[in-house]
Amino acid sequence: MSTAPHHSSLVVNGERRDVLAPASTTLLEVLRGPLELTGTKRGCNHGVCGACTVLIDGKLARACLTLAADVGEHPVVTIEGIADERGLSRVQRALVEAGAVQCGFCTPGFVMALTSLLDSRPQPSADDIREALSGNLCRCSGYIKIVEAAIRLAEGEGA
Amino acid sequence: MNYVAPDSLEDAYRALADADAVCLAGGQSLIAAMNLGLAAPGSVVSLRKIGALRGVDVQPDGGLRIGAMTTHAELAAMTTTAAGPELVARAARLIAYPAVRSRGTIGGSVALADPAADYPVALQAADASIEIGGPCGSRTVKARAFFRGLFETDLQRGEIVLAIHVPPGAPGAGAAYEKLSLVAGDFAIVAVAAIGKDLLDLAVGGCGPTPIVATGIRSSSEALAAAGRTLAASCDPPSDHRGSAAYRRRILPEMLRRAGQAAAQRASA
């Protein structure tokens, strides 16, 4: 049985990136290692904390629970691919303006979750927001400001 | 570790002949187990390219054939009027978090048979069946016989869960799925699935190695309370960080009453 490194040809933030890594390597390890995209954070490494949240094929995914080899042709978007031409995206600006960034470790995951929510539902209710953020932990426990930022976005501010 | 992603079931069966090979569906449990050092397969057979495992087909009787690689998010978004499929959709909406629901699959969950998982509870209440394929052909097993123990199922080495068959439920039946967990998205402390009208079929999860089933229970508070007391006395719940066995026994009857009465209220006259 072959244990040679597996070749993955990933599309990350719109760029084709070729990676040679053991087949057991997760997408998170590939992003933070060879691809040097360290905005995606390694928290619990078993799917609970949400710090490694990325988009695969436009859908939220845990980079730690996905083998790089299993991504295939599906495009990956990380926090580095979220900023718009003005610098920070409107979700990022709203979090900064609401004072929703404390130590900042969980912030990339929250940005991905909120970006995905607002793309699919531009005017979510407060309950929708809490449900959408249920898979992201903030160990500074700064949830109130994060939800406030999201409510402002839902009300059309920060566009 | 070796990784293969075959295009066909036949190639997948061949790859699974390796004694150290496991199936990879959505990976939301397997990769977590690998990261935690709880699993170290020699070979992973990804099912993601196999078209035969995808798709949800409505059957002539209003039931569903759900391809094994259907994600929790796809089932959660399903709108249906039949009680059986509705029960599965209600359970899917309460599994983990959006980022896990978008990749985790019903086939993967069923094959793993975690004692606190949601589908085994819903599928046993709905009297669903599991379609299994292998190199020697396919077979179908009732969910109530498929889940045999803690992470133990009727699946034999080299077999793959192909699809889940969910019957529509009795005409006019309602469905409910009640789950108590420490925080949204966590595994259940106790979960109850209920389907029916005047007579309910119920399944309880989180209170033993496999869900426990009670069929033909009347929907009155008294009947549900009596069934809850019987199940609480006979079940074998674990004590863990989510709750003690005594706590699970204590809350089971009330969870059963809520699920049973919610299902009965959703039933049409």
CB B68 within 8 A of CB B106: yes
Among the partner residues A1, A26, A60, nearest to B2 by beta-carbon distance: A1
**Rounded CA separation B39/B228 (Å):** 37
B197 pLDDT more than 50: yes
Contact state of B102 with A59 under an 8 Å Cβ cutoff:
yes
Among the partner residues B5, B34, B183, nearest to A24 by beta-carbon distance: B34
The pLDDT-based confidence of A1 (bands split at 50, 70, 90) is very low
pLDDT digit string, tens, across residues A91-123:
999 999 999 999 999 999 999 999 999 999 999
Look at residues A58, A81, A104 and tell me which one is the last residue of a structural domain. Answer: A81
Whether B269 contacts chain A with CB within 8 A: no
Indicate if A48 and A109 belong to the same structural domain: no
Whether A1 is in a domain gets the answer no
**What pLDDT is attached to residue B183?**
86
Whether B36 is in a domain gets the answer no
The tally of CA atoms less than 13 A away on the side-chain side of residue A132 is 28
Whether B239 is in a domain gets the answer yes
Indicate if A63 and A15 belong to the same structural domain: yes
Residues 6+ apart with CB under 8 A from B179: B94, B118, B188, B190, B191, B192
The pLDDT-based confidence of A158 (bands split at 50, 70, 90) is low
Cα–Cα nearest to B35, from A49, A67, A20:
A67
Indicate if A71 and A95 belong to the same structural domain: no
CATH no. for residue A41?
Answer: 3.10.20.30
pLDDT digit string, tens, across residues B99-129:
999 999 999 999 999 999 999 999 999 999 9
pTM of the model: 0.95
Interface test with A, best of B74, B102, B241 (most A CBs within 10 A): B102
CB A5 within 8 A of CB A66: no
Whether A134 is in a domain gets the answer yes
Indicate if A17 and A68 belong to the same structural domain: yes
Point out which residues pair with A9 in neighbouring strands: A18
Indicate if A130 and A111 belong to the same structural domain: yes
Indicate if A11 and A76 belong to the same structural domain: yes
Mean per-residue pLDDT for A74-85?
Answer: 93
**What pLDDT is attached to residue B184?**
85
- For residue B200, give both structure tokens: 């309910």
Whether B19 contacts chain A with CB within 8 A: no
Whether A25 is in a domain gets the answer yes
**Rounded CA separation A72/A145 (Å):** 37
Residue B45: φ, ψ to 5°: -110, 100
Mean per-residue pLDDT for B13-38?
Answer: 96
Instruction: Give the domain extent around B183.
Output: 174-266
Q: Give CA angle at A92 (A87, A98), nearest 5°.
A: 130
Query: Checking phi first, is residue B59 left (phi over 0); if not, alpha (psi -120 to 50) or beta?
Result: beta
Among the partner residues B34, B73, B184, nearest to A131 by beta-carbon distance: B184
Interface test with A, best of B20, B35, B45, B179 (most A CBs within 10 A): B35
CATH no. for residue A105?
Answer: 1.10.150.120
Q: Tell the burial category of B14 from Cβ atoms under 10 Å away from its Cβ (0-12, 13-18, 19+).
A: middle
Indicate if A74 and A44 belong to the same structural domain: yes
Task: Please give the interface size between A and B, counted as residue pairs whose CB atoms are below 8 Å apart.
Answer: 98
Residue B136: φ, ψ to 5°: -100, 15
Nearest chain B Cα to A70, which residue?
Answer: B46
Find residues 127-146 of chain A whose CB sits inside 8 Å of chain B.
130-132, 134-136
- Cβ of B184: how many Cβ atoms within 10 Å? 14
CATH no. for residue B224?
Answer: 3.30.390.50
**Rounded CA separation A111/A101 (Å):** 11
pLDDT digit string, tens, across residues A120-140:
999 999 999 999 999 999 999
Whether A48 is in a domain gets the answer yes
Interface test with B, best of A60, A71, A121, A136 (most B CBs within 10 A): A60
Whether A124 is in a domain gets the answer yes
Instruction: Give the domain extent around A68.
Output: 6-81
Find residues 53-112 of chain A whose CB sits inside 8 Å of chain B.
53, 56, 59-62, 64-67, 69-70, 72
- Cβ of B70: how many Cβ atoms within 10 Å? 23
B177 pLDDT more than 60: yes
Residues 6+ apart with CB under 8 A from B155: B111, B132, B146, B161
**Rounded CA separation B23/B156 (Å):** 13
Look at residues A81, A110, A130 and tell me which one is the last residue of a structural domain. Answer: A81
Three-state SS annotation for chain B:
CEEECCCCHHHHHHHHCCCCEEEECCCCCHHHHHHCCCCCCCEEEECCCCHHHCCEEECCCCCEEEECCCEHHHHHCCCCCCHHHHHHHHHHHCCCCHHHHCCCEHHHHHHHCCCCCCHHHHHHHCCCEEEEEECCEEEEEEHHHHEEECCEECCCCCCEEEEEEECCCCCCCEEEEEEECCCCCCCCCEEEEEEECCEEEEEEECCCCCCEEEEEEECCHHHHHHHHHHHHHHCCCCCECCECHHHHHHHHHHHHHHHHHHHHHHCCC
Look at residues A60, A81, A102 and tell me which one is the last residue of a structural domain. Answer: A81
Indicate if A11 and A75 belong to the same structural domain: yes
ipTM: 0.93
Among the partner residues A2, A46, A60, nearest to B99 by beta-carbon distance: A60
Nearest chain A Cα to B32, which residue?
Answer: A46
Identify the residue with better confidence: A11 or A158: A11
Whether A159 is in a domain gets the answer no
Point out which residues pair with B174 in neighbouring strands: B196
End-to-end CA distance of chain A: give it in Å, rounded. 54
Whether A114 contacts chain B with CB within 8 A: no
Whether B97 contacts chain A with CB within 8 A: yes
Contact state of B98 with A6 under an 8 Å Cβ cutoff:
no
The pLDDT-based confidence of A3 (bands split at 50, 70, 90) is low
DSSP reduced 3-state for A56: strand
Nearest chain A Cα to B2, which residue?
Answer: A3
DSSP reduced 3-state for A145: helix
Angle between helices A107-120 and A143-154 (to 10 degrees): 30
**Rounded CA separation B80/B137 (Å):** 31
Cα–Cα nearest to B27, from B90, B89, B111, B135:
B111
> What DSSP character marks residue A48?
S
Number of domains making up chain B? 1
Whether B194 is in a domain gets the answer yes
List CB contacts (< 8 A) between B5 and chain A: 69-70, 72
List CB contacts (< 8 A) between A64 and chain B: 31-32, 35
Whether B262 is in a domain gets the answer yes
List CB contacts (< 8 A) between B24 and chain A: 67, 70
Number of domains making up chain A? 2
Contact state of B73 with A134 under an 8 Å Cβ cutoff:
no
